[in-house]
């Protein structure tokens, strides 16, 4: 498995969880579960992806701007999650922020898969792609098992 395949697996989960989240309503167990799933998936993915994909890409001149852009989008998503954490789940404002988060997640994943992966594919050799996948998956699993 290479780093792109490893990242895509998590991307698919993120898409599923983001879609599920915005179909929930009120302060319900479904909304609580959907949000918990998305939040833990995003946080584990972001941490592992930054360490084992974006930081290695910053070693290349062509990888710096791309990595900075992606990491800044991670921060935007983190801020939206902080906003959700401090907003009443049953309020309209909560759903509005959840929808913004879902849109940001979809935009970010699309951009990574359409643009960033192509450029990274040219910068990294096959051995690096495989080794980064192994490191990413190990970190990702460790992050998921760490309570928030």
Quick check: 49 pLDDT over 80?
yes
Quick check: 148 pLDDT over 60?
no
According to the model, what pLDDT value does residue 73 have? 97
Instruction: Report residue 78 as tokens.
Output: 């983190």
CATH of the domain at 134: 1.20.120.520
d(Cα 35, Cα 144) in Å, to the nearest integer?
15
Question: Looking at the 3D structure of the chain, how many domains does it have?
Answer: 1
According to the model, what pLDDT value does residue 102 have? 98
Burial environment of residue 140 by CB neighbours within 10 A (0 to 12, 13 to 18, 19 or more): buried
Q: For residues 78 and 46, is the Cβ–Cβ distance under 8 A?
A: yes
Quick check: 105 pLDDT over 60?
yes
DSSP alpha helix (H) spans, the chain:
3-22, 29-49, 55-57, 61-85, 92-111, 117-123, 126-145
Structural domain containing residue 79: 3-145
List of residues 6+ apart from 146 with CB closer than 8 A: none
**Other C-beta atoms lying within 10 Å of the C-beta of residue 102:** 20
Residues 38/40/41/44 CA torsion (nearest 10 deg): 150
d(Cα 148, Cα 144) in Å, to the nearest integer?
9
Quick check: 98 pLDDT over 70?
yes
Quick check: 34 pLDDT over 90?
yes
Give residue-wise pLDDT tens across range 57-91.
999 999 999 999 999 999 999 999 999 999 999 99
């Amino acid at each position: 498995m290479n780093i792109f395949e490893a990242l895509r697996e998590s991307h698919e989960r993120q898409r599923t969880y983001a879609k599920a989240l915005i179909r929930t309503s009120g302060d319900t167990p479904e909304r609580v579960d959907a949000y918990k799933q998305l939040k833990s998936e995003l946080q584990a993915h972001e941490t592992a992806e930054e360490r084992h994909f974006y930081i290695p890409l910053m070693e290349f001149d062509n990888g710096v701007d791309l990595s900075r852009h992606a990491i800044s989008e991670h921060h935007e998503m983190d801020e939206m999650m902080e906003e959700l954490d401090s907003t009443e789940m049953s309020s309209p404002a909560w759903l509005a922020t959840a929808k913004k988060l879902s849109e940001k997640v979809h935009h970010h994943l699309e951009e990574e898969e359409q643009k960033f992966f192509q450029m990274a594919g040219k910068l990294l050799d096959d051995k690096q792609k495989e080794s980064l996948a192994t490191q990413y998956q190990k970190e990702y699993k460790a992050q998921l098992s760490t309570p928030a």
